[in-house]
Amino acid sequence: MKLSFLAIVTSALMLCGALPVRAQSADPSGHWTGALAAQGQQFAFEIDIAKAATGGFAGAVTIPVQHISGLPLHVSVDGRSIQFYARRDQVFRGELSQDGKSIAGELAAEAMTLTYTLSRTGDAKLAGPVKSPAVTGALEGVWTGVVEPGGRSATVTLRIANHPDGTATGSLVNDSQGGLELPLAIVQDASRVTLSVTVLEGSFSGELTAAGELSGTWKEGEKTIPVTFTRVR
């Protein structure tokens, strides 16, 4: 017996209605602790994830063995799948468990794939952006420079912006290392400028020159490296 056109359409609509509806993305907000497995060793790390005021999620990672605390993370969530990174060439991908208490996944970095696990241990502890006193127009803007640690050159971008509340924020982006972004605390005294990285031991001390450059020294641990920033806008 041939089905009528109406019966075929009705059957199709019933099948469409029976298709599973895609689940909404899970909420990975919280403080997470865990370890990365590499060459038979476990390296402890922590991440904090919270909903961002502008939508999506904000995050930060703490790695005690590297003396890194609160390094900003880019976070995206799709269903129960989660992806986060501080460097776009070193991406953590994982899956949030059904009970929302753990994340397990892999880190892809430098042609290696390492596994990790995380457990939710409490609420997120995100500190928010570092705010400094407002700076002069001569310092505000976007600057670029080249740092040469260990004989290897790295292009970095310095961003400094004033805000309506009378504060300023700054960041140093290592374009040669996957866009790694380091938040800065800024101190300006006339032409003298000090930029202190808040998530690890690193700082820049220099001066705004008559040529419109920002020239000085980058210090990380016992190493000091000369660097000159040139304004790009």
Taking only the tens place, the pLDDT of each residue in 166-196 is 999 999 999 888 899 999 999 999 999 999 9
Residue-wise pLDDT for 17-57, tens only, equals 343 444 567 899 999 999 999 878 899 999 999 999 888 99
Which residue type sits at 114? L
**Domain 24-122, architecture per CATH:** Beta Barrel (2.40)
Residue-wise pLDDT for 118-136, tens only, equals 999 999 999 888 999 999 9
The span from the CA of 74 to the CA of 84, in Å, is: 5
The span from the CA of 80 to the CA of 125, in Å, is: 22
Residue-wise pLDDT for 76-122, tens only, equals 999 999 999 999 999 999 999 999 999 999 998 777 889 999 999 99
pLDDT of residue 23: 53
What's the predicted TM-score (pTM) here?
0.80
pLDDT of residue 150: 59
**Percentage of the chain lying above the pLDDT 70 cut:** 88
- Looking at the chain, which residues constitute the CATH 2.40.128.120 domain(s)? 132-231
**C-alpha distance from residue 224 to each of 34, 38, 95, 172, 217 (Å):** 34, 31, 41, 17, 6
pLDDT of residue 8: 29
Q: For the domain made up of 132-231, give the CATH fold.
A: Lipocalin (2.40.128)
Task: Provide the pLDDT confidence category of residue 6 given band limits of 50, 70 and 90.
Answer: very low
Task: Provide the pLDDT confidence category of residue 153 given band limits of 50, 70 and 90.
Answer: confident
The span from the CA of 15 to the CA of 9, in Å, is: 10
Residues in the chain, overall count: 233
pLDDT of residue 26: 87
- Looking at the chain, which residues constitute the CATH 2.40.160.90 domain(s)? 24-122
For 203, other C-beta atoms within 10 Å of its C-beta total 15
DSSP structural state of residue 222:
T
| Token pair listed for 81 | 């799948």
Task: Provide the pLDDT confidence category of residue 149 given band limits of 50, 70 and 90.
Answer: low
The neighbouring-strand residues paired with 31 are 48, 122
More confident residue, 152 or 118: 118
